[in-house]
Structure 1
Amino acid sequence: MSTNNRLSRLVGKINSLPQGLRPLALSLVMGRVIPFAGTAGTRVMELTPQKCVIVMRNKKKVQNHIGSVHAAAMGLLAESATGFMTGMSVPDNRIIVIRSMTLEYLKRASGDMTATATFSDEQLAYVKNTDKGDIEVPVVITDGTGTETVKATMIWAWTPKKA
């Protein structure tokens, strides 16, 4: 199922680069699109219309008082993973906005954090073919040990752009 928006075309070009260059190129581009994600040092490891994987290193600038990634930084990670993926699927004549964020902190995190968001075929078709709507996008956040530490759901909405 092809997407004809600017973001997906740009990501398609980046995904044609050698595998070793893709995360850096994706991260630089997405950091320009969403400056806060760039400031926090998120690393886009994979980005397709049906999957987004982003890593946030446990560095001082994103840490809380106990040395793990701050809860708000995990919210940024979840929003970025779901938003980048949704953004690849919404046609250019629409605008997307986050409508709701729900994060449940399950365990204390250790090390770097990884957010993985996915769309089913049905969800992807809905986003592409619905002029005005919203969709619930789950995202799993794991820590450096592979343990799920945050369960999150983002609701993204879109409407036609005003002329």
Structure 2
Amino acid sequence: MKEPALLRLHRRITRWPAGTWLFSRAVCFRAPYFASISPRITVLEPGRCEVRIADRRRVHNHIGTVHAIALCNMAELAAGLMTDVTIPTTMRWIPKGMQVEYLKKAVGPMRAVATPLEAPREAAEGYELPVEVVVTDRGGETVFTARIRMWVSPRR
């Protein structure tokens, strides 16, 4: 099976000094909205993506915790990248829906880990691929979870 272009790029760039920073910037150049949270993509492999964000004022809400939508952006980014490098290269994806739970105040730097809940497959028709994203704080406590339904369909 052919390796996804995004995964090849990640593997090539992250070997360089400051490679994870550079790769993260490249992703945000391609999808500019995600730059609002200044993500750092630290792990990207089939079946898993890890994204971190620093504790910056720009991601805070009015009470000084990480804003709910910043957590949603982080979750969508991690899920999208993981899906892109996990599904067969003959397939494409788009988020179809997201269900989230805020479990405790999100204080400090955050870490999101995205994994598929089912094995992706090649198919003649589109199908939903559920992805779980767990966001933890510095102490490893879960502060937020998301279940994102990705619509996976054949490339035209």
TM-score range, shorter chain: 0.7 to 0.9
More helix by share: 1
Q: Quote the sequence identity (%).
A: 30
- Cα 1:93/1:30, change in 2 over 3 Å: same
Q: Which runs of 5+ in 2 are unaligned?
A: none
Q: State the TM-score, normalizing by the size of structure 1.
A: 0.84
Equivalent of 2:84, from 84, 87, 93?
87
- Tell me, yes or no, if the aligned pair for 2:37 and 2:74 is still in contact at 8 Å: no
Q: Residues 73-102 of structure 1: CA distance to partner in whole angstroms, max 9, x if unpaired? A: 100011110100101234455431100101
Superposed displacement of residue 62, structure 1: 1.1
In 1: Cα distance, 2:7 partner to 2:132 partner? 21
- Cα 1:47/1:57, change in 2 over 3 Å: same
Q: Which amino acid aligns with 1:10?
A: L
Q: Which runs of 5+ in 1 are unaligned?
A: none
Runs of 4+ aligned structure 1 residues displaced above 6 Å come to none
Q: Which amino acid aligns with 1:6?
A: A
42-51 or 86-95, larger mean C-alpha shift = 86-95
Summarize the alignment of residues 7-156 of structure 1 with structure 2, pairs less than 5 Å apart: 7-15=6-14, 17-18=15-16, 21-119=18-116, 123=119, 126-127=120-121, 129-131=122-124, 132-156=126-150
Q: Which amino acid aligns with 1:22?
A: G
Superposed displacement of residue 157, structure 1: 0.7
